[in-house]
Amino acid sequence: MDLEIQRKTLIEELGVHLEEDNLAPLAARILATLILAGRRGVTFDEMVCELSAGKSTVSTHLDHLQATNRVTYFTKPGDRKRYFVIDPNLILNLMEEMITKWDKEKRLHLKIRAYKEQCNCEARETGGFQFDLEFQEDFLTYLEETSNAVKKFRDKLLSRNN
């Protein structure tokens, strides 16, 4: 398959995937374009042409992507154009959000487990219903292991950047 066709197909496929993160279709295609462009960056005019979109629409979505720290730009000496790229901290920021969410969920599930353990103690005395805590334990293990794996990857990325 021709590389250009492959790139356009991948932009569309990745764009559809990125829409799942509550992004407008064009914003998702802009991000996909920047991901595939890498560090070389993409100018505003190249994006308008590449995505067959109006200048004001591309501008609006670029502003939103910059405001949400997904996209940034750089300039080159003697060149008035801005070259847009994925914010280098994007993946680290997303990882921190995931870790924070999982830590919050873990604290909640620890409370749920403690509650169920108390219920089980009473149930043993009264002969009532007892919770099966296997799922709770497995889920807590999952949250811990997943969070640790992401933290390890984050630390590896941070050490590369320093």
Indicate the domain borders of the chain. Answer: 3-86, 90-161
Average pLDDT, whole number, for the chain?
A: 94
Residues 128, 143: Cα–Cα separation, whole Å: 30
The residue assigned the tokens 């920047």 is 34
Q: Of 148, 160, 27, whose CA–CA distance to 88 is shortest?
A: 160
pLDDT at site 1: 66
pLDDT digits (tens, 9 = 90+) for 41-64: 999 999 999 999 999 999 999 999
Q: According to the CATH classification, is domain 3-86 in 3.20.20.10?
A: no
Residue 35 gets the label, from left (phi > 0), alpha (psi -120 to 50) or beta, of alpha
Q: How confident is the model at residue 21 (pLDDT cuts 50, 70, 90)?
A: confident
Beta pairing partners, 85? 72
- For the packed helices 25-37 and 3-19, what is the interaxial angle rounded to 10 degrees? 130
Extended beta strands in the chain, E state: 42-43, 71-75, 82-86
pTM given for the model: 0.75
**Tens of pLDDT, residues 85-116:** 999 889 998 899 999 999 999 999 999 999 99
Position 160 confidence tier, pLDDT thresholds 50, 70, 90? confident
